[in-house]
């Protein structure tokens, strides 16, 4: 297995020949993902199998395995996110072809004759990561200033179910 995936490939030619690529993608090279990450270190293991379906669709089916460290949106610290993605993408030349893809294929509209495998992996990761990553409820986050994030519902139970009852105690002070 090569240590890195090629920078660019010709997907139609690889699909016609039924080629397989295996390698690693450095997380630090995935630029569109950087804003969601707490730590960009490490690599992801990638396998891509190119082929031609019974319906004549040139495609790539693959897997991405590894782990990301996303930025928790509560405390801004790192939260682990295991990556285990399976994908199947059909190569098309435009929106009309994309609409005619058989079920089971996600479309990838190609503007040219090449595609960057790392960008394809990045697309799949962007679809897989949560919009608002946070630590599990069992864990607590340390907020700026040393405050601890309370368990969800904790204050509500102490205040009799009314989230605004704490304001009345502040008003009396």
Single pTM value for the model: 0.77
Mean of per-residue pLDDT scores for the chain: 85
3-class SS at 105? coil
* pLDDT for res 136: 80
* Gap between the Cα atoms of 32 and 19, Å rounded: 28
Alpha helices by DSSP H, listed for 55-145, are: 95-99, 117-128
Other Cβ atoms less than 10 A from the Cβ of 7: the count is 9
The string of pLDDT tens digits covering residues 93-129 is 999 999 999 999 999 999 889 999 999 999 999 999 9
* pLDDT for res 167: 65
Give the lowest-confidence range in 43-52, 68-77, 154-163: 154-163
Residue 78 predicted with pLDDT over 60: yes
Tokens found for residue 103: 């079920």
Confidence category of residue 156, pLDDT binned at 50, 70, 90? very low
C-alpha closest to that of 38 among 67, 68, 71, 66:
71
Confidence category of residue 74, pLDDT binned at 50, 70, 90? confident
In the chain, what is the straight-line distance between the N-terminal and C-terminal CA atoms, in Å? 69
Alpha helices by DSSP H, listed for 82-116, are: 95-99
* Gap between the Cα atoms of 76 and 74, Å rounded: 6
Residue 24 predicted with pLDDT over 90: yes
Give the lowest-confidence range in 63-67, 101-105, 135-139, 151-155: 151-155
The string of pLDDT tens digits covering residues 37-63 is 999 999 999 999 999 999 899 999 999
């Amino acid at each position: 297995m090569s240590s890195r995936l090629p920078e660019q490939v010709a997907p139609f030619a690889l699909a016609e020949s039924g080629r397989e690529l295996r390698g690693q993608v450095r997380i630090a090279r995935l630029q569109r993902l950087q804003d969601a990450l707490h730590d960009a270190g490490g690599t992801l293991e990638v396998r891509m199998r190119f082929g031609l379906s019974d319906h004549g669709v040139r495609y790539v089916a693959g897997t991405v395995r590894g782990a990301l460290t996303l930025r928790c949106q509560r405390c801004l610290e790192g939260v682990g996110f295991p990556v285990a993605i399976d994908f199947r993408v059909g190569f098309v030349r435009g929106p009309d072809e994309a609409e005619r893809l058989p079920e089971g294929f996600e479309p990838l509209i190609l503007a040219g004759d090449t595609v960057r495998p790392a960008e394809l992996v990045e697309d799949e990761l962007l679809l897989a990561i949560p919009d608002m990553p946070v630590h599990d409820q069992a864990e607590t986050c340390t907020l700026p200033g040393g405050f601890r994030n309370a368990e969800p519902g904790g204050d509500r139970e102490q205040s009799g179910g009314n989230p605004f009852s704490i304001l009345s105690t502040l008003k009396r002070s």
